[in-house]
Amino acid sequence: MEEFDDNGLVTADGTKVLTPEDYDKFLLVVPDAKKVIFEINTITGLRYIELQRLHDHPEWYIKGRNQIILPKEAQRKVKQKLVKRTIDKLPSTFSYIFRQFTNGRKPPERTSWNRDLARWSVKAGINPKVNPKTLRKSIESWMLKCGIPEIEIYSRQGHDPITSLRHYQSLSFTDYELRDIKKDSPSGEFYNERAEFKT
């Protein structure tokens, strides 16, 4: 019988939030062909449709600035008010991972990705199951716990300022998990130092 680890880190809408340990455990069961999609999705915190569009438009990544600049048409929301959105605070190794992403397979359709995430959740013993929102909400919660001001997260993630991120602040990470969020890397390749968030 599969043993599930339910750490209770779930947002108000029922979305699972990963700890760095959960992330590493989950990454171990993701097939190599899809690992980079999973990593890029987590690092950037993009909505899944935005991730799919980014694959088709590698020019949106500005290597010299280590930033992704999403034009209005790249963003998911129909009533998007921002002309563009800048995804910054990317790790120094991002350009290498991004090259693998753009040279690799296109991210699958959302329904296929949902099925993949659910299957891998069972393999990794993670409950509730990981869904496309999990990666976005995990990175947002990690950034908050690292002390990034909410306004910077709103801007990076494309939230309407009226939308509150306060429900993330009630997530109860252990001291050990907080140390990992602030210091250690959730994988061997990205966020070698979470202190990069603070620069």
Q: What is the CATH number of the domain that holds 176?
A: 1.10.443
In whole angstroms, give the CA distance from residue 30 to residue 124.
9
In a domain, 6, yes or no: no
CA 145, distance to chain mean position in Å, is 15
In a domain, 8, yes or no: no
**48 contacts: CB under 8 Å, gap ≥ 6:** 41, 107, 110, 113, 132
In a domain, 144, yes or no: yes
How many domains, the chain?
1
Token pair 């716990």 in the structure block, residue: 145
H or E stretch at 162: none
In whole angstroms, give the CA distance from residue 59 to residue 13.
34
In a domain, 14, yes or no: no
Confidence of residue 185 (pLDDT cuts 50, 70, 90): very low
Helix (H, G, I), strand (E, B) or coil at 119: helix
In a domain, 2, yes or no: no
Of 38 and 196, the one with more pLDDT: 38
Whole-prediction pTM:
0.79
In a domain, 46, yes or no: yes
pLDDT tens digits, 5-60: 555 687 767 788 888 889 999 999 999 999 999 999 999 999 999 999 999 999 99
Of 43 and 192, the one with more pLDDT: 43
In a domain, 111, yes or no: yes
In a domain, 133, yes or no: yes
Please give the residue range of the domain that contains residue 26. Answer: 20-198
What pLDDT sits at residue 62? 96
What pLDDT sits at residue 3? 45
pLDDT tens digits, 144-180: 778 888 778 877 877 665 555 665 656 666 676 777 7
Closest by alpha carbon to 180, among 194, 167, 196, 169? Answer: 194
